[in-house]
A and B are shown apart, each in its own frame.
Chain A
């Protein structure tokens, strides 16, 4: 596991500018909220933290869809895989690195939400449950992003990830609501929003479990593809 951790930290360091932008954005938005809205009310603080938190899902998708492709294109992957690093070390390292970044982001946004809500009068309940649920949703999206990122260039991989994750929920909205059970990430998202806003999510545990299982399965499929494919491109 040492190599997985080394690859993860290395990936985080490679992505430092993107991560700084992420954290900078969260800090900027929360300071705007604190300065412009001199004394934010309780509902505003809740809306703000929820909105910022869900950006984690987008960040995880963008980070995941480009990770492997960029390393392969720049040949940095070769420098790592020329050492005693198994392919699963590498992919799990990338996965862990992105997950660590998203977990940090969710924690920071949660803390900022707490600060803002405290200024508004009293502490928001369930901020860290929200952060945990969003993190799990983001990890599932990350798995899907990594999967498509192995097959397609980043822009197409991002499009494919969005398409893959939204098609079933859109069909569920349009045709049959039961279809939402085939889309664990969307189910978790709806349950999380419901739980945070009204505390009345009935399928929270089911959706969390389903999303974790979904993330693991998609990651294992991605790993199988990564094991089979060529990791260098023809030069001519």
Chain B
């Protein structure tokens, strides 16, 4: 049975913003479970509440209602964070030499032989050449790598990454992707929020899509992409006149129909003397699904 390492249970988070202390709901009745050993993608448009959910898990803020656990302990438990790696969105680093900075973070986490651990993290992220340089003088992409190095320096069981590849060039992105897959192979869990759908699609076992503080979809990528409420019916022996919405495809006609009308269409094909070749759920791209969910009303729960 899957062991949960990160659990949100009916969490609501309200902010008070502005001089008039206006009420802003960042998360509403949010429940989600991330299991050990998976790479979990957390998607949503800007302002959906992804960063709030991550900050709650790290204990930077407390839920208004509901509760959550990280590695079996309530959110905010400091000793538990020794087993967690975290990379913030728009990370601001202390102005130090790269190796010193990573060592500092390792010491905060009580990592034994912190200097050696820091050197290993620096090497793993391809930062050896710049390890004596000041972080502020590095490019944004290099700084992001430093951020990743500090996140993995304690060999975490759970890695929480908020937009880890946003400032990276394609080569560095591939490196991060390989790092995530390598972590997965060693049994680590990765919870990653990203806008880069191709990255998510390439590495994640499961994804959740958040919109305006509510979870609209969660599941494996293939489940989600096939969950669309449309299917394609491929038929032969019919003409386009009888089926104006049909599209010719490889000598057949293909009809993209709603699930609710599937039976009706198939019967219509048969009654017209045609033959149904195949019926398949329509497979959207992740981007299509994301855009549809981001712009539409609430969809299916979980």
- Contact at B110–A84, with CB atoms within 8 Å? yes
Q: Which of B42-81 contact A (CB under 8 A)?
A: 46-47, 51-52, 55, 58-62, 78-81
- Contact at A81–B60, with CB atoms within 8 Å? yes
A234 / chain B contacts, CB cutoff of 8 Å:
15, 17, 24, 26, 52
CA distance A78 to B61 in the complex (A): 11
CA distance A75 to B58 in the complex (A): 13
Instruction: List residues of B whose CB falls within 8 A of some A CB.
Output: 15, 17, 24, 26, 46-47, 51-52, 55, 58-62, 78-82, 84, 86, 88, 90-96, 104-105, 107-110, 147, 150, 154
Q: Which of A89-148 contact B (CB under 8 A)?
A: 89
Q: Check A20 for interface membership: any CB of B closer than 8 A.
A: no
| From A10, A82, A86, contact of B94 by CB (8 A) | A10
CA distance A85 to B107 in the complex (A): 11
24 CB contacts below 8 A, A to B, read: A13-B94, A75-B88, A75-B91, A75-B92, A76-B92, A78-B55, A78-B86, A79-B88, A79-B92, A79-B105, A81-B60, A83-B81, A83-B108, A83-B154, A84-B108, A85-B78, A86-B78, A230-B61, A230-B62, A231-B60, A231-B61, A232-B60, A234-B17, A236-B47
- Contact at A84–B88, with CB atoms within 8 Å? no
- Contact at B108–A6, with CB atoms within 8 Å? yes
- Contact at B95–A14, with CB atoms within 8 Å? yes
A85 / chain B contacts, CB cutoff of 8 Å:
78, 81, 108
- Contact at B78–A82, with CB atoms within 8 Å? no
Write the nearest CB–CB distance from B71 to chain A, whole angstroms.
12
Q: Check A39 for interface membership: any CB of B closer than 8 A.
A: no
- Closest partner residue, chain A, to B88 (CB atom): A78
| From A79, A81, A84, contact of B79 by CB (8 A) | A84
A79 / chain B contacts, CB cutoff of 8 Å:
88, 91-94, 105, 147, 150
- Contact at B84–A82, with CB atoms within 8 Å? yes
**Chain B CB within 10 Å, residue with most, of A83, A235, A236:** A83
- Closest partner residue, chain A, to B81 (CB atom): A84
